[in-house]
Structure 1
């Protein structure tokens, strides 16, 4: 097994452990991530609208 596969496997195992042991905090983290991505997308859209307006 190469190092890249091992790192990915360990990462997936840690994420699953976190989700199983602390589902509320994991859900909050995912919601925060999606909120951050949405705000970033909205900022890019606003920039492009102003650029081409």
Structure 2
């Protein structure tokens, strides 16, 4: 799921900026999705989960 969200977000950024996304924006999107996935997992299990690599 995380990979699909990342690909969709990067595709949307490409369209919005009308250019290829730089490595910086790709890293930023990855970290944002990673944090959302961690929050979702913590909410699902109703306790704070460990970060996964």
Query: Normalized against structure 1, the TM-score is what?
Result: 0.50
User: Which has the larger share of helix?
Assistant: 1
Task: Considering Cα pairs closer than 8 Å and 6+ residues apart, tell me whether 1 or 2 has the greater RCO.
Answer: 2
Larger Rg: 1
Query: Normalized against structure 2, the TM-score is what?
Result: 0.50
